[in-house]
Structures are given as structure tokens and as C-alpha cells.
Structure 1
């Protein structure tokens, strides 16, 4: 993954990858027809069924283990992590069709992170796309890798393959399938969002699949602005130093020009999805707060902005120059990212100064999440006020607005807007979605009608609020086009979410009518859910930028942390832990941990411990309280997830850094007792 840092073209989508043991159903499964299966490999006939190795590895039918039936495919003799089984799907997959690809994987021994990917070639040039990112796989059982993939360009070579992240251990695959649900035409007889909401542009974040076939039709009918969700980030545009590529972004930009869509640039500086080389000093060691490292880091930052922003010039009228720099838990409110630890506030000052020099006509934004939370809102306000007083050219503040059907209150959202008015800057809603879930413990096979109704009223109220403040809000962007491709399918936990205006088959939902014509939401009156009291909500991006695959995630969004319950544990008779690396990129990764009480007595207050073996460091954690000392990690419960009933579980997620390899911890203890690792 490090030596194979190959960039994918923007004309391909890896949509809403689900790296999990089980696949969440589609958002509107009750309405969907039976999927049409286009390939099946069950290895029950004693052959390899057309699968071939990517190099010199050996593939053979085996009956040693099997997920279903008696046979599977054994992959042995691997000499590199990227080597694995691949299958030609050139004559199977059609351009513009969204396929769900599923494969069951099991290590022969040990553990690793497995990935499901696609290799394609056009004009002899190879590109590599992630379908499912790093997912923990062991020899103890089968793990399902399932994700959605849409081919959005003509190719001469197309193969699905399975690889691992670090080791060359042997592994098995079984029961591989690919299927699709026939597309429906978009509804042309309903009002266009852009024709109803005329106070400001309304946009959507896009990948390659949003610009082809019916997705492209839906996009251009309803929206007049787009944000390339990942194609302009550092890992996509400058994967290695001073080597710039715009293969992901150029097709999106061409589509925007053809259809007269405004473009928001996202993002020039972020602590995430930034290659590790950016923070590596001239001596080859991680940068520290020395004058030499600071000078080098700021020089790299300036070079990056001059090239990336300069490449598009006036084609992009708005840029998120810096993204997610606030940590309200710090006394000064500043996130302790690699950027800040090496360069202090000078990285923000430099970013805006250089962006203004390169883009004299563009609007330059500072973008963050949870700006409706008073502590974070106020810290962001103070930072902008300080920088503007210094002459830093900040034109606007971006509110991500990743919310759910019960949080936040409308009053909190209005206070968010009002807070920044005295600064005299523009405000934009940059990444809006409304999750149907109110806690991490919920998971619905299909979205309940009452949740979709609540969601419609949230959209109604929020858009009414934005239009009320049209003099301040100059753009609203939804983080996605339709429910078939949303980052919330995998984060903060894996489950099918439905956070957007259109469903998985691109049909208008009640949420759409909440924006366009609230009288059509429901004939019976219903109070606004926006007045509900706030509940803890976590909105976390997958950050799944795994080289050599395409990144598919938005910015990280983490809701206010809760206090930690100090209550001691009682009745710890048994526990099981599932640890998954759900996304990985050069120098960083994202993980998910699930704890299950397998005993007969409840656990009141828990503390989970493990050891890293390759120097991994956790930088941010949600739904738990983190302590890390060297390689030793301890995560304690929060106030709302401290009690585990028998068979009950709790989950938390985190962001971390890594160098070289990223092996899964070998053992976990809960309140001092050794847990079974699943």
C-alpha cells in the first residue's frame, strides 16, 4: 500500500464501502426489487472458477475450510501484500450500473487487514479503486467484505481482487457475488430543488458516479453547485512530493463546466487524508517543533496550494482553505494536529495568505463540524476574530451540519448563524446530512416511517432557517446526492442510513418535500422535531483513502464528547471484542471496536486495554475516554454506554497514525479479564 501508491481516475466511484462482518440492508429495501446477480463464485465444482493470481501467488481449490458448502479458494505463495486472487469482470460490469460486490475472507493463520478492490486500465494506464477498505480478518472465522462499485468510464481491462494490508500470509476466499438493482428513471415531473430554493445555490458532494447516467440527470435537475468530496484533497492531488495529479478531479470539473455548476473546492489543508511524507523531515524522521521542520512544512504547504489552487484558478470560486482546526477541549481551542504541533497557527496564516495570492477573486473559508455546539462555536469565533484582526484573509466560515433527526435544536442552529454575523463574513452550509439514527446502538433493516417523517421536518425547519438568514448563508451543500452513496453507511458504525433527499433508487423522499413543499410531507400535522432536546450524536467520516484506492469519505465529524462514568465494573464473566480497521491512508487510519458482554451478569462501567506492536498512536476517539501511554491503550466507557447487559454491546471509533505496518492487536482485556477476539 505504500509502494503501490497509485491514483485512481475520478470517473470511478467506490460508493459507500461497507467493511464489516455483515452487510446492512438498503435504505428502502422494502421497495427494492430482488437484486439481479451477475456473478457467483462458490468454488463447489473443484475448480478456481476463473480466478487468477495478480503475480506469482498460487490459487487452488480446497476443502480445508469453506464458508458455504465444502469448497473455497486458497491463496498461497504470496510475496507481497498486494498479491491476491482476481477475477475478470470486463464483460460482466456495465458502465453506470451500481454493483454490490461481496466476498468472504479468512486468513490461514494470524491476522491482517483485507481489502476488496478493482483494477481497471484505459489506454494501457492502470488505476486502482477501493471497494472495501482495510477490514480486520483472522484465522478464527470468515469475514464478509461488501461494498458498492460503479464503473463510470470506458475501460479495456477490469478485474475485482482481494489483497491484504501488510503481511504475505495465505488466506481463503469464498462465496463471492456481484449484483445490482435495476435503475429507475428519475422523476422529471417534480419541482427542481434549485428552482424552489432561489436564495442561494444548493449543491451536493460528488464522486465519479454522480456524473453518469441517471445520477448525472438527478444532479443537474436539482442542484446548481457541487463539491468534489475527495478529489481535491492532498492525498488525491499530491500523493508524493511535488508530483501533482488531477486525474480524479478533472472529470468532475469538466462535468461542472458543461452543466454550469458552481464548484466549492474542498480542501487545501486538513489533518486527515494528508500523506505521511508531508510531515517527514529532511532527516527522514517525523517532524517536530523545530525551526527547520517548520520552515520545510510551510514550504511544502505553500507549494501545494500554489499548484492545486492555481491549477483551477477562477474555475473554483469558493475554497475550504483549512478544515477542522478546532478542538474545543483544548484551552486555546486549537486541534493538536501535526500541522499545529510543528507550525502553530502559522500554518493557517500561511494557507490563507498563499491562497489569496493565487486566487484573488475566490472566497476563502475555514470549515468545521459541530459549530452548533456553543463551546466549539465560540472557540472558532475567537480564532477567526484573532486572525482577521491580524489581516489574515478569511472570507467565510463553513458549517458542516452533520446532524440527526433529534439533534440539535433549531435554536442551537440559529444561534450558530447569529454568532458569526458580527464578524462580517459569509457563512455556508458545506456538508449537510440528517441521519435517521439517534444513537450508535440503533440499526434498522429499513428506515422506520416515523424517522423518515422526522427527517422531513428537520429538513423543512433547517432550510426555512437558512432561507430566513439568506443575507448570511450564501450556499447550502448536501454531503451526497442520494442514499445509495453516503458515508453514514459505515460510520460511526456499520448500518444502512438514509440521510439525504433521494432514496437508494434516486426517488424523492419526504425529506425532499420538506425542502421543496412541506405541505406534501404528510397530510396530518406534526410538531417540528427540531425543538427536541439534544441527544449525543456521532458523525464520523470514514476517511477511507487507502492507496492504491480512491478515497470516498468526507471530513471527520465528531459530536460533543460525554463524561466518563467512574463506576466500577461488576460481574465480568466473559467478553468478546471485534477490532476493525475501517479506513486507511498514508500515515493514518480509522478504526472501530465493539465490546460484547458474553457473561451472565451485567457489567457496570468498563475499561478496555490493548497493546499496539507497531507504534500506532490514537489521535482522536469518540464514544469512549482514551488514555494512551506508549504502546498501551486504555478506553473507558462514557456516561451513556457504561452498562453492558448480558449479550449487550458497546462500540467506539477512533482515528490514529501508523508507519510501516498496522497489525491488529493480539489481545484485549476488559476490566482485567481477557476477552475473546472475534
Structure 2
């Protein structure tokens, strides 16, 4: 009787404990966050993306969900450009920029300001007097100083770094003859970095440009940055925009640029990455937004979806670039995609309006493309 009682007790304890252990092991950890690109590249470089106006206003939750899972750095696609911040002299509109910064702070993301001085998307008044004539050198310098001081000081201590000057060198290595250059001269870029440093001495300061893999342009950028550094000015990083195609530029030339810029004594950042799968209206064209072309059917070959073979090419291209960035992770501090999904990409309308492009890591439904898991695996190697 005692033996039977002990046996029954033992069986009861086992029967009780086994399901308890089993159920406990199956309870999901609700505190565990989904694994993303930012987690895969932790300790290597930041993974960033650009936010458009709808995303800043959080009009839809799908892109925000992807953003929070996969990215730890954000840059404003348009809301911090001078034509939006100061459409009329002395009248600043910080509504969208403030929302962008607050979102980044709330979600513990590194915030990048883009862009303080750029010949494009600058308000016309910046360069003109009341009669429509070009202002003097002194007036333009003061307008530039006021704009930079007002914007940068507003976000002092909140923004990690600024694209201070954007796209001042042509593909042949010569100065772009913008209004800033024509009115002030080639020292306008040094003055812009000086004013930004005055407004927030702790903020990082960047120069940003496209087609940096072209040797002549690479060397032209290098000359300008070296002049600023040699004169005691401050430049913390060069942003390589990395707007690529399936076949241009070569990985070798991109690598040459990474090493060349790093040898100047500055960080390297990938600032606006995307890879167009569509034919360009002109060969080897860059990201100059004034270089647009008329729509032709043959320039929009995939209106209903990307064929599997092209998706494979796109995936291989992205993996090749991320492998290169990992190789030089000691030089690269950030890799930023220019948009969250294909739906958001500016390349649907550039350089030909109305096309369907597929240049980013997430599709139009905000699902990761098949090769994203391979990029994550690459980072874990």
C-alpha cells in the first residue's frame, strides 16, 4: 500500500511537471524585439534611411514598422532643404523638421540633417534683390550665415551631423558654376562649414555628393576638402551618395573612392544608396535632378513587377556592395538607403517621370526582398 501510494505520488509529480516545462518553453518572449538589418550590422556601421513627408507625419504604419525594425539612423529626404525651411527671407517653417527630429529622438535613432547649402531646391530669393538682380557677395554670405546659424542652432545637441554642402563638384572634377560659386567664389564652401561649426561645435559636418566613383570627380572633391582641412577648417566625413545602376559604377572604382577619401583623414559615409534596375535615357548619368528625360515605353520595361532574373541581379549587386562596405567597416561609419521601400523611391520619377522602379531593399508592400536575408547573413559571417 505504501509502495503504491509512493508510485502514484511520483507519477503525479511527473505528470504535473512535464506539461509545466513544456508550456513554459513555448511561451513567446514578448520583450524580444524582431531582428533587423540594424542588429546584423551592430558594431560595424549604422544602417539608415531617408524619411519622406508622409512618413514624418506617420500617415501609414507599414513603413514605420519596417523603419523601427531595420534602421537606427534617419535623414530627412526634403523637409530640411532651404526651400522648405525658409521659403521667404526671414520666414522659417520648422513644422515638418521638428516632427522629424522628435521622431528620431523618441525612437533613439541617429539623426542626420540634410542639407544646409545646395544649389538645387534653394529658394530664388536667396540669390536675388528686390529688382531680381544678383545680390552682392556680402549679402549672400550674410544670408548663408543667417540660414545656417538659425537652422543648426535650433537643433543643437539633437542632430548628430549635417550635410553642410551638397554637390559642388562636377563629374569632370571642376567646380559647379552655381549661384553660390558665381557670387561668392570658391570659398563659399569653407564659409558654410565655418558657420555650421559656429552654430553647433559638437555636431559632425559632412560634404555630400554623387558619382564619387568617377576618378576626376573623386579627385576634385579631394582637392576641395583638403583645402578646407589645410586651412584649419573642419570636415568630419565625405558622403558617397551611391546612386547606382546594375552595371555602373564598378566595385573597384567605388573601393578606390572609399580608400581615397579615408586617406584624407575623414570618415566615409554611404548617404543615399539605391540601385536602379531601369535603363537610363543617357549612359552613365548621375543624380543631378535637373537631368530629366521624356517618358518612353522602352524606358519602363517592368510596370507590372520585377522578373526573377532581374531580382537576382539586383540582389547580387546589393550583396557585392555590402560585402565591400564590410571590408572597409573601419572607414565607413554609416550606410543609408534613400527611402524605405520601392513605393517611396524618388527613382520612380527620376530621370523619367511615371516609371516603376525597384531600387530598394523592401518592395511596395514593405516586405523584404529575397536577398535581404542574405545581406543579414553576410553581416553575421
Task: Give the TM-score range, shorter chain.
Answer: 0.7 to 0.9
Does 2:44 match 1:196?
Answer: no
Matches for 1:352-363 after TM superposition, within 5 Å: 352-363=193-204
Kept in 2, the 8 Å contact 1:306–1:354? The answer is yes
Give the Cα separation in 2 of the matches to 1:476 and 1:500. 13
Separation (CA, whole Å) in 1 of partners of 2:199 and 2:262: 27
Please list, as runs of the form range in 1=range in 2, the aligned pairs for 1:239-638 lying within 5 A after superposition: 239-281=87-129, 284-287=131-134, 293-329=136-172, 333-440=174-281, 441-443=298-300, 444-445=302-303, 446-494=305-353, 495-517=355-377
More strand, by proportion: 1
Closer, same or farther: CA 296–244 of 1 in aligned 2, 3 Å? same
Question: Could you tell me which residue of structure 1 aligns to residue 85 of structure 2?
Answer: 237
Q: What SS does structure 1 have at the residue aligned with 2:88?
A: coil
* Number of equivalent positions: 325
User: Rg: which structure is higher?
Assistant: 2
Q: What 5-or-longer segments of structure 2 have no aligned partner?
A: 1-31, 282-297
Higher relative contact order (CA 8 A, sep 6+): 2
Instruction: Give the 3-state SS of the residue equivalent to 1:413 in structure 2.
Output: helix
- Does the CA-based 8 Å contact 2:171-2:214 persist in structure 1? no
Deviation at residue 518 of structure 1 after TM alignment: 5.7
What's the offset of the Cα at 1:510? 2.5
* SS of structure 1 residue aligned to 2:177: coil
Q: CA deviation at 1:303?
A: 0.2
> For the Cα contact (< 8 Å) 2:81–2:114, is it kept in 1?
yes
Q: Distance in 2 between matches of 1:375 and 1:279?
A: 29
Residue matched to 1:142:
none
Deviation digits for residues 214-270 of structure 1 (CA, Å, limit 9, x no counterpart): 211110110000001111110111111111111111111111111101111100000
User: Is the helix fraction higher in 1 or 2?
Assistant: 2
Structure 1 runs (4+) deviating above 6 angstroms are: none
Residue 456 of structure 1 contacts residue 513 of structure 1 at CA under 8 Å; is this kept in 2? no
Is the contact between residue 207 and residue 252 of structure 1 (CA under 8 Å) also seen in structure 2?
A: no
Q: Secondary structure at the match of 1:269?
A: strand
In 2, distance between residues paired with 1:238 and 1:381?
31
Shift of 1:190: 6.8
Q: How does 1:202-221 map to 2 (within 5 A)?
A: 202-211=47-56, 212=58, 213-221=61-69
Partners of 1:189 and 1:201 lie apart in 2 by 18
Query: Scaled by the length of structure 1, what TM-score is found?
Result: 0.47
Question: Normalising to structure 2: TM-score of the pair?
Answer: 0.82
Deviations 1:485-515 (A, max 9, x none): 1100011113100111110000110242342
Change (3 A) 1:442 1:448: farther
